[in-house]
Amino acid sequence: MADSNPERINFRDVQFLTSAPTLDECPEDSGAEVAFAGRSNAGKSSAINALTGNKKLARTSKTPGRTQLINFFRISDQQRLVDLPGYGYAKVARSMKDEWQRHLAFYLEHRECLRGLVLLMDIRQPLKEFDQQMLTWAVSGGLPAHILLTKADKLKNGPANNTRFAVEKALREQGLDTGVSVQIFSSTKKTGLDKLERKLGEWLALEESPPEAD
């Protein structure tokens, strides 16, 4: 049974582990991992920064040349955060997007230790094509997803909540709501940070080994 009150994880000591251009070069597929994804400018670096308090981590993912890599951050020996860079710059060639999509799909479908996907969307522009694609992969693979509607400080509470309801309704209508939760988030105001930490704690909880049989 899932632990309803998992141990709180300290995200403040998270450190950069490695970058991998393909799944073959990822760290060993063991323990528990949670991936963050979003279109460029969705607010992913800011969210990782708000969570970890480490500006350098988020910048790592933005180093030119690293943008198309899967970045791994270590929480503990058996727990990792993974930054899956999005795209959205017109500069990126179609062929490169296709290539990157193949790696993303492969990672989402084949990574055994992946416990969940945090999908970030600007609250003013939710559910774009990239987001729908990511959710389709997650839902079809039975991978739980948690949507952060970012930059919520740009809207008043009423409109922000209405957007959340509208997103939840759209997901239901598209059959993309199984195992998918939605929350409002602001890195600037730290809105929803606690809720995100609880979700990550739930996903990253390490199962205790069952007692040895006699």
Which residues here bind ligand GDP, judged by CB under 6 A? 38, 40-46, 150-151, 153-154, 186-188
Give least dist CB 62 to ligand GDP, A: 7
Residue 101, burial from CB neighbour count under 10 angstroms (0-12, 13-18, 19+) = middle
| Strand partners for 20 | 70
C-beta of residue 57 within 8 angstroms of C-beta of residue 194: no
Distance, CA of 89 to CA of 86 (rounded, Å): 9
Give least dist CB 1 to ligand GDP, A: 35
Give least dist CB 42 to ligand GDP, A: 4
Give least dist CB 153 to ligand GDP, A: 5
In the complex with ligand GDP, which residue's Cβ is closer, 40 or 101? 40
- Residues near 212 by beta carbon (within 8 Å), at least 6 away in sequence: none
In the complex with ligand GDP, which residue's Cβ is closer, 38 or 116? 38
In the complex with ligand GDP, which residue's Cβ is closer, 46 or 60? 46
Nearest Cα neighbor of 79 from 114, 31, 13, 117 is: 31
In the complex with ligand GDP, which residue's Cβ is closer, 79 or 150? 150
**Tokens found for residue 113:** 């230790």
